[in-house]
Amino acid sequence: AQSVTQPDIHITVSEGASLELRCNYSYGATPYLFWYVQSPGQGLQLLLKYFSGDTLVQGIKGFEAEFKRSQSSFNLRKPSVHWSDAAEYFCVISTGTASKLTFGTGTRLQVTL
Amino acid sequence: NAGVTQTPKFQVLKTGQSMTLQCAQDMNHNSMYWYRQDPGMGLRLIYYSASEGTTDKGEVPNGYNVSRLNKREFSLRLESAAPSQTSVYFCASSEFISGQETQYFGPGTRLLVL
């Protein structure tokens, strides 16, 4: 069975600083990977996804993620964080079959001014 | 496009009461899903419907029933609510492009069972 680990429960960064949120997965083949963001009291918004091809994926709001097969990782990055990026971020794995999404437990990002 | 919509946004129930959570999507997606979100546990799949007329159990189906009313609508019913069902419930629908699925989520329903 597949699994996703987000080792950081909570991260605080200053506005303008760079950000990296970690995600590690376990799956026997190449997975489909997603990052979603959940603002307080809101639903989940898709930031970016990786299915195949270029391992550096660009998303919305200036986010990017890099798929590293050798490290079983899919870390999310942003060069300069804005206060509006404060939210909870979920790394998600899919094995490609309908309904088989597995969510990480989330990383809560706090941005200080 | 409104995307995925859910009603109600917030509900308080007493133990033993029943209620139905409504979900609709206007993206012409075949597959729809119900999840619950609890602190520190991410989202867990309750039920899903791969297409109109079909439903299947997910990871945590006990205490819930679903109805895929038509292609647009997928409802979740709690027949006899329990405090353990206090949670945030998310509906999602998905598109398949070249065999690859992407799910889109509604804003959620916050349910408190006393």
For chain B, what percent of residues have pLDDT higher than 90? 82
Query: Is residue A45 less than 8 Å (CB to CB) from chain B?
Result: yes
- Determine the distance in angstroms separating the CA of A4 from the nearest CA of chain B, rounded to an integer: 10
CB contact under 8 A, A90 and B107: no
CB contact under 8 A, B101 and A106: no
User: d(Cα B101, Cα A44) in Å, to the nearest integer?
Assistant: 16
**pLDDT tens digit string along A33-65?**
999 999 987 889 999 999 888 899 999 999 999
CA distances from B96 to A78, A90, B29, B84, B103 (A): 28, 21, 8, 34, 9
What average pLDDT does chain B have? Answer: 93
Query: Within 10 A of B101 (CB to CB), how many other CB atoms are there?
Result: 21
pLDDT value at A91 more than 90: yes
Please compute the mean of the pLDDT values over residues A78-95 and round it to a whole number.
94
Q: Please report the pLDDT score of residue A94 as a whole number.
A: 87
Identify all chain B residues contacting A101, using CB atoms and an 8 Å cutoff.
43, 45, 103
Say if CB A65 and CB A2 are below 8 A apart: no
Say if CB B103 and CB A101 are below 8 A apart: yes
- Determine the distance in angstroms separating the CA of A13 from the nearest CA of chain B, rounded to an integer: 21
